[in-house]
Structure 1
Amino acid sequence: MDGKSILLMALIYAAVIQDVKAAKLTIQPSQNIQAGSTYYLALQCSPDSNSSYTKLRTMEIYKQSMVSPKKLLVKVDSTGSYTPGAGITKPKYKILFLLNAPQLIDKYVQVDINNPDCHDTAEYTCETTGETATSSHPVYLKDSKTVTVQSNPGKVEMKIFHEKPKYDVGEKIEITCQTGVENPEPTWTWEFKPSGDSLTDVKFYKVHDTTYDVRTENIRKSQVDQHTSTQCGYNTGSTLQHEVGMEDDGLKIRCMVDNSELYSAIKTIYLTLDDVKKRMLLADTERIKLEQEKLKQQISKNTTNCNCCCN
């Protein structure tokens, strides 16, 4: 190969590397969808208008997820022969293509995914090969896009370690909430209601709200089970450490996923009988002190009025 041929090949190679967006991957209805909100996801691969192709050879669509290597979904050539990837069958997948369009940019291959779920979250790539006016050698182009299929959390499970009907004042407990969610990984919120308040008449306070001292020592994220080849979601949770206080009889503690009451759980803390009696005794003591203070103030006021009259 002479110097001119080598230079020409280098220029062609450089043009291909720089023009990596000259293939076009179109995704419908959106790159970000909610599981259950749509019955299909369409991936269409075609040459772009700036591809400089004079002849189209092949169009291919690939998928690569967090837990699996690059996988062929479909390949179609200029003769109309197409090759589906392993497992790309009905009713989950449907393959469409158009090759007899007058314009190169109108030719395409498409994969429809029925009822997309979290397993369809991945990076998808459209790859095309074709000839240009300057070379009959195949010119390779590609376009990649990421699709995210979001889903709602599963049922929230709430457990206390060690759970029992009643707790002693000063006892330290751990409350753990867990749920399964496909993606993205959820955030957790902990809230509480002071004892004696119903679930409807007083709002929940955030755990670190200064309105009420809930004596929380720590909130930590539980271990997260990441995606696997058979399970694409997260099993995740959050743990609250709490020291039971004298005012906690009937205290309601709630955990929520992504700040949604639809995905939440509630536990109520009750004190032992002795602690309840102590609480009532303290309340009575405080009440008596207040009544005595009011009586002293009234006596002092009456004494002052009497002195004024005497003078």
Structure 2
Amino acid sequence: MDGKRILLLALIYTAVIQDIKAAKLTITPSPNLQTGATSLTLRCSADANSNYTELSAIGINKVTKGSSSLVAFTTLDSTGSFIRGNGITAPKYEINVALRPQLTNNAIQVIIHNPDCHDTSEYICETTGDTDTPPYVSQSTDYKNVTVQSNPGTVEMKIYPAKMKYDVGEKIEITCQTGVENSESIWTWEAMPPTDSTRELMQIEEFPSEHIFSPAVMTENARTTEVDPQTSTQCGYNTGSTLEHHVGMEDDGLKIRCMVNNSELLSAIKTIHLTLDDVKKRMLLADTERIKLEQEKLKQQISKNTTSCNCCCN
């Protein structure tokens, strides 16, 4: 290998090393945040290990869904002026330029107030400056991903018609709605019979299947609504589900729960109550069944005693 080729490879290697270390992107308080955080700060500067002799420009870009866009850029002149990217407006985005004698203290800083899901992105810090080695002008980058997660939404559950108590045979619709991060969400319907309050909720419906989920309750029609797309002013997606149900004689105290993606945080429960007349009928039927059972037991006992007597007499 001749000397020129060795020198060329050395220069390429040096340039690669410079590209890794020359730019520095600092993110505080963390690159992973929940919605509700007060602020997120992005600071782009030259790394302490860089061999810049002078910085000429610093900028921050963001890459979302494969598309790059400007956040903020400065040429580090004496005025401290800067350029904002489209949509990077105050007061949500606060931009500051630091001009300091020490090279690594020159920086552009972006403070994002009340960050939300729209600030989730890959951010790129880019520095440009002069060096003492070829190519004498170096451009370097540092990449970091920022994720702002949405807090679990509240599931809104309603029954139509909205009544305190329902008649046996009455058709009701139970609807659930909430916001989710993933557009591909699965709704699950569950029920807990009133006769066993200590029992765990039994899984009764996972779309699109339909089946009986309680001795007296049938899922006639359970369906999900179309997911509303994410908008520029709204994080996440809106999704819902509706369960149609005919009230049964055994439904007084029946608890019905809807749940998204098997998450306890994304669930809601409603209790069905029957009208007074239907409760009385249910109690009367229960008493009738109890009397029939006692009569049957008495008959069996009499029959047993009679059999024992005949055996004795013989």
Note whether the superposition's TM-score is higher than 0.5. yes
5+ residue gaps, structure 1: none
- Rounded Cα–Cα distance in structure 1 between residues aligned with 2:214 and 2:194: 11
Which residue of 1 is the match for residue 208 of structure 2? none
Measure the CA separation in 2 of the matches of 1:174 and 1:13.
68
CA distance in 1, matches of 2:159, 2:235: 28
Determine if contact 1:224/1:237 at 8 Å carries over to the other structure.
yes
The answer to whether 1:264 aligns with 2:268 is yes
**CA distance in structure 1 between the partners assigned to 2:202 and 2:43 by the alignment:** 47
Question: 2:111, 2:141 → 1: CA distance?
Answer: 22
Q: What's 1:125 paired with?
A: 124
Aligned to 2:309: 306
Partner Cα distance (2:49, 2:189) in 1: 53
Is the 8 Å Cα contact of residues 252 and 269 (structure 1) preserved in structure 2? no
SS of structure 1 residue aligned to 2:60: strand
CA distance in 2, matches of 1:125, 1:286: 75
Does 1:208 pair with 2:204?
yes
Structure 1: which amino acid aligns with 2:143? D
Tell me the number of residue pairs that the alignment of Structure 1 and Structure 2 aligns.
294
The match for 1:226 among 229, 241, 249 is: 229
Q: Residue 34 of structure 1 aligns with which residue? A: 34
Whether the 8 Å contact between 2:117 and 2:147 is mirrored in structure 1 is: no
The yes-or-no answer on 1:74 pairing with 2:79 is: no
Which of 282, 289, 292 is the matching residue for 2:295?
292
Correspondence 1:168-179 to 2 at 5 A: 169=169, 174-179=173-178
Query: Identity, % of aligned pairs?
Result: 53
Tell me, in whole angstroms, the C-alpha distance in 1 between the residues paired with 2:112 and 2:224. 35
1:189-200 matched pairs, under 5 angstroms: 189-195=188-194
Corresponding letter in the other structure for 1:58: A
Cα deviations across residues 275-311 of structure 1 (Å, max 9, x unaligned)? 984x556545532432232112211332244346546
Counterpart for residue 25 of structure 1: 25
Per-residue CA shift, 1:18-76, capped at 9, x if unaligned?
Answer: 9568633222122222223x32211122334665544432221223556x964433212
How far apart in 1 are the matches of 2:20 and 2:300? 87
For 2:153, the equivalent position in structure 1 comes to 153
Structure 1: distance between partners of 2:312 and 2:176: 70
Aligned CA RMSD, in angstroms, stands at 4.3
- Give the Cα separation in 2 of the matches to 1:114 and 1:77: 25
Offset of residue 178 of structure 1: 0.8
CA distance in 1, matches of 2:139, 2:92: 32
For residues 275 and 191 of structure 1, the distance between their equivalents in structure 2, rounded to whole angstroms, comes to 23
Post-superposition offset of 1:112 = 1.6
Whether the 8 Å contact between 2:189 and 2:258 is mirrored in structure 1 is: yes
Residue 57 of structure 1 aligns to which amino acid in structure 2?
A: S
Contact 2:191–2:204 (CA under 8 A) maintained in structure 1: no
Distance in 1 between the 2:299 and 2:22 partners?
Answer: 91
Residue in structure 1 matched with residue 60 of structure 2 by the alignment: 61
Superposed CA offset, 1:79-135 (max 9, x none): 35331415645543333444436464x543221222323443333322222344220
Q: 1:15 to 1:173 in 2, by over 3 A?
A: farther
1:208 counterpart letter in structure 2: I
Match of 1:112 in 2: 111
| Distance change in 2, residues 1:269/1:14 (3 Å) | farther
CA contact (8 A) 2:52 2:130 kept: yes
Give the Cα–Cα distance (whole angstroms) in 1 for the partners of residues 14 and 249 of structure 2: 75
Q: Please give the secondary structure, in 2, of the residue aligned with 1:207.
A: strand
Q: Which ranges of structure 2 fall in alignment gaps of 5 or more residues?
A: 206-211
Deviation at 1:221, TM superposition (A): 3.7
Note the C-alpha offset of 1:212: 4.2
SS in 2 for 1:306: helix
Maintained 8 Å contact 1:60/1:76: yes
- The residue type paired with residue 239 of structure 2 is T
Q: What amino acid is the match of 1:268?
A: I
2:265 is aligned with what amino acid?
S
Deviations 1:151-207 (Å, cap 9, x if unpaired)? 2414x33244666763554x76542201245x466765533232367xxx5455133
Q: Secondary structure of the equivalent of 1:255?
A: strand
